[in-house]
């Protein structure tokens, strides 16, 4: 279903516009990745203090828009020219302009992924609701993957809206029929929930968090139930490879304290399935 964007909808224009806009969104995603876990932790502490009848400590506002971004080492306020996606990081040579503290390459990486992802969605789907839905899916999963890798959290603030976005875009027939999307959301949640329960019964331990169930439900809401087996298989394979590399990075020894974060692998598998899932399934069935 096409969107009416006028000249912006032209195939030679839309991907470049999407790239520029995606780079700017990537800069905002860096703020979300850095601040949202801290905001959630702060909220949890305030709720605990309120339940315990303790006075809430006075604290300045901390949201996605306030206070202004600053260097964590010296407190230098980030100026507008220092906040241009990718370009500023390159111009500053990856260092704070005030104290010289190194700025992580994660920031331009997130910006590049968001920009390239948006451009590819625009090129692949054109000016359609599928392009809009796929772009939102890519942006949300980028944020979820990085947050989970850094903190082990998959916030409801991102996973639950992503489920609803998937259902809404498929209400318009973007990827699959709405019935397939609804079943996909339910099956996505239950599939990992059953794995979780089985592992808990066998070992007495929790193998994953509820955020993984909700993220998989979001993938199912976008792609429908038919691609879920591929998503779970791909995420398991990618997780196995990266998990093995991380666990044996320390001189080839098992790290007993290793924590396996499934969110990044679900994100990779979901994006692969969105763009190339059906050809992969067809190729596999032909080989059978």
* pLDDT per residue as tens digits for the range 55-112: 877 778 888 988 888 888 888 888 888 889 999 999 999 998 889 899 999 999 999 9
Q: What are phi and psi of 74, to 5 degrees?
A: -120, -10
pLDDT value of position 9: 66
pLDDT at 241: 84
Confidence at residue 108, expressed as pLDDT on a 0 to 100 scale? 96
Distance CA 106, CA 190 (A): 33
Q: How far apart are CA 9 and CA 200, in angstroms?
A: 50
What pLDDT score was predicted for residue 55? 81
* Rg value, the chain, Cα: 21
3-state helix, strand, coil split of the chain in percent (to 5) is: 70, 0, 30
> Which pLDDT tens digits describe the chain residue by residue (288 residues)?
556 556 666 777 899 999 999 999 999 999 999 999 999 999 888 888 888 888 877 778 888 988 888 888 888 888 888 889 999 999 999 998 889 899 999 999 999 999 999 999 999 999 999 999 999 999 999 999 999 999 999 999 999 999 999 999 999 899 999 999 999 999 999 999 998 898 888 888 877 888 999 999 999 999 999 999 999 999 989 888 887 777 676 555 555 555 668 899 999 999 999 999 999 999 988 887
Could you list the beta-strand ranges (E) of the chain. Answer: none
Torsion, Cα 41 46 47 53, to 10 degrees, reads 150
Which residue in this structure is represented by tokens 């394979």? 237
Q: Which of 203-207's residues contact partners 24+ apart within 8 Å by CB, and which partners? A: none
Q: What is the pLDDT of residue 138?
A: 98
User: Residue 101: CB partners within 8 Å, gap ≥ 6?
Assistant: 71, 72, 73, 74, 95
How far is CA 104 from its chain centroid?
18
């Amino acid at each position: 279903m096409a969107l009416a964007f006028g000249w912006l909808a032209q195939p030679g224009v839309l991907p470049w516009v999407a790239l520029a806009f995606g780079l700017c969104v990537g800069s905002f995603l860096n703020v979300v990745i850095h601040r949202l876990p801290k905001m959630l932790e702060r909220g949890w502490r305030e709720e605990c203090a309120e339940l315990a009848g303790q006075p809430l400590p006075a604290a300045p506002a901390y949201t996605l828009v306030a206070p202004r971004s600053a260097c964590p080492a010296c407190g230098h306020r980030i100026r507008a020219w220092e906040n241009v996606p990718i370009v500023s990081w390159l111009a500053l040579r990856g260092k704070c302009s005030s104290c010289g503290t190194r700025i992580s390459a994660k920031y331009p990486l997130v910006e590049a992924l968001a920009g390239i992802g948006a451009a590819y969605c625009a090129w692949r789907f054109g000016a359609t609701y599928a392009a809009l839905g796929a772009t939102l899916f890519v942006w949300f999963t980028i944020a979820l993957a990085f947050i989970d890798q850094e903190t082990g959290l998959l916030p409801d603030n991102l996973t639950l809206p992503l489920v609803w976005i998937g259902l809404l875009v498929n209400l318009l027939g973007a990827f699959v029929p709405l019935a397939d999307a609804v079943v996909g959301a339910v099956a996505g949640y239950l599939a990992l929930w059953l794995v979780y329960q089985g592992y808990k019964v066998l070992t007495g331990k929790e193998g994953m968090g509820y955020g993984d169930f909700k993220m998989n439900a979001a993938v199912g809401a976008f792609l429908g139930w038919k691609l879920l087996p591929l998503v779970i298989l791909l995420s398991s394979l990618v997780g196995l490879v990266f998990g093995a590399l991380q666990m044996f990075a320390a001189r080839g020894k098992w790290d007993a304290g290793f924590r396996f974060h499934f969110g990044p692998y679900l994100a990779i598998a979901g994006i692969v399935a969105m763009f190339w899932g059906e050809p992969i399934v067809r190729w596999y069935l032909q080989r059978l």
